[in-house]
Amino acid sequence: AQSVTQLGSHVSVSEGALVLLRCNYSSSVPPYLFWYVQYPNQGLQLLLKYTSAATLVKGINGFEAEFKKSETSFHLTKPSAHMSDAAEYFCAVSVMDSSYKLIFGSGTRLLVRP
């Protein structure tokens, strides 16, 4: 069965600093991987996805993530944080052998200090 672990329930960075949100997955077959963002009182919005094409994936709002099979990781990064990036971020995995059941991590709340 697949699973997702997000390290750090809260991450705090200064405006302009590097953002790094960590995600590790467990899957016995090649996965699809996703990052979603949720702003306060809003639904989930897709940031980016990995579907076995390029291992470095670029998403919206300047975010990117790199699929590393050897480390079973899919960490999310952004070179320079903006105040508007403050939100909750969720990593998710789905695999073909379980009818594409979509499993989420517990989320990381990003705080951006002025």
Of 6 and 27, CB closest to other proteins: 6
Of 70 and 99, CB closest to other proteins: 99
Q: What count of other Cβ atoms lies within 10 Å of the Cβ of residue 2?
A: 19
**Residue 26, SS3?**
strand
Beginning with the edge strand found earlier in the chain, give each strand of the sheet holding 64-68 in spatial order: 3-7, 19-26, 73-78, 64-68, 56-58
Q: What count of other Cβ atoms lies within 10 Å of the Cβ of residue 62?
A: 14
φ, ψ for residue 69 (rounded to 5)?
Answer: -65, -40
Residue among 26, 51, 55, 80 that touches other proteins (CB under 8 A): 51
> Least distance in Å: CB of 83 to other proteins?
22
| Interaction of residue 94 with other proteins, rule CB under 8 A | yes
Sole window of 17-25, 63-71, 74-82, 102-110 interacting with other proteins (rule: CB under 8 A): 102-110
| Interaction of residue 86 with other proteins, rule CB under 8 A | no
Structure tokens at 29: 């077959």
Residue among 17, 49, 64, 77 that touches other proteins (CB under 8 A): 49
Smallest Cα–Cα separation from 88: which of 49, 21, 39, 46? 39
Interface residues toward other proteins, by CB under 8 A: 6, 9, 32, 34, 42-44, 46, 49, 51, 90, 92, 94, 96, 99-107
